[in-house]
Amino acid sequence: MRNIILNLAITLDGFIEGPNGEIDWLVRDDEFDFGDILTDILSDKDIIFYGRISYDKWGNSQPDENASQKIKDAYKLLHNKQKYVFSKTKKGDNTNAIFINSNIKESVLGIKEQPGKNIWLYGGAKLITTFLNLDLIDEYRLAVHPVILGEGKPLFQNIEDRHKLRLTDAKGYKSGVTLLSYKTDRTTNS
């Protein structure tokens, strides 16, 4: 069965964006450029899940003209994935994206059962909350950036239940970023 994986960069105090959408706190990593990171995230996935706001903002974004070939290739890879957009009202756009308006849990479980690779839960925060509260997230791969931001959009908010996790990997990089990987531990959730 496909797994739903939350791949995301967060600050040490758990924000995914500043109060005005700032992502200027993302540290550069000399070991990896953004093209490598994106390609790596996409390597085991063939579906991307977006909330409507995130989709409008990032779902069809293109790299800068002056971006490296690596980044351009990564974007091509990104836009070849099947996209699903979760929206209460919007039915579709002029792309191949599939819009889901209701019955989230049933729709998602149906998609998970189809043969294929894993699913990238892209965000944003509201969709992540919905997925967490429906216990639909199977893995977390969080890049913790070395900054306390103070204010912004928290990754975890309005979570209704406790979720136990199993650490599968923890690795610190020279840039100060730590990659923490967890699987949802459904055997012991209390």
Contacting positions for a copy of itself (CB under 8 A): 12-14, 25, 132, 140, 142, 144, 146-151, 155-156, 159-167, 169-173, 176-178, 180, 182, 185
The bridge status of strand 45-51 relative to strand 82-86 is: parallel
162 half-sphere exposure, CB direction, 13 A CA radius = 4
Least distance (Å) between residue 107 CB and a copy of itself: 23
Closer residue to a copy of itself in complex, CB, 5/144: 144
Q: Between residues 102 and 188, which has the closer beta carbon with respect to a copy of itself?
A: 188
Q: In whole angstroms, how close is the CB of 25 to a copy of itself at the nearest point?
A: 7
State in angstroms the smallest separation of the CB of 16 from a copy of itself. 12
Q: 134 or 159, CB closer to a copy of itself?
A: 159
Q: Taking the complex as a whole, how short is the minimal distance between the CB of residue 139 and a copy of itself, in angstroms?
A: 13
At residue 44's C-alpha, the angle toward residues 43 and 45, to 5°, is 100
Contacts of 14 (CB under 8 A, 6+ apart): 154, 155, 156
To a copy of itself, the closest distance from the beta carbon of 152 in angstroms equals: 10
Shortest Å, Cβ 153 to a copy of itself: 14
84 token code pair: 């699903």
Cβ closer to a copy of itself: 71 or 149? Answer: 149
Report the chain's C-alpha Rg in angstroms: 16
Q: Which of 160, 132, 123 is nearest to 21 (CA)?
A: 123
Q: Which CB atom, from 37 or from 77, has the smaller least distance to a copy of itself?
A: 37
Q: E-strand spans in 12-129? A: 15-17, 45-51, 82-86, 98-100, 118-123
| Pair 12, 147: CB distance under 8 Å | yes
d(CA 18, CA 149) in angstroms, rounded, equals: 7
Based on CB atoms, which residue is closest to a copy of itself, 31 or 156?
A: 156
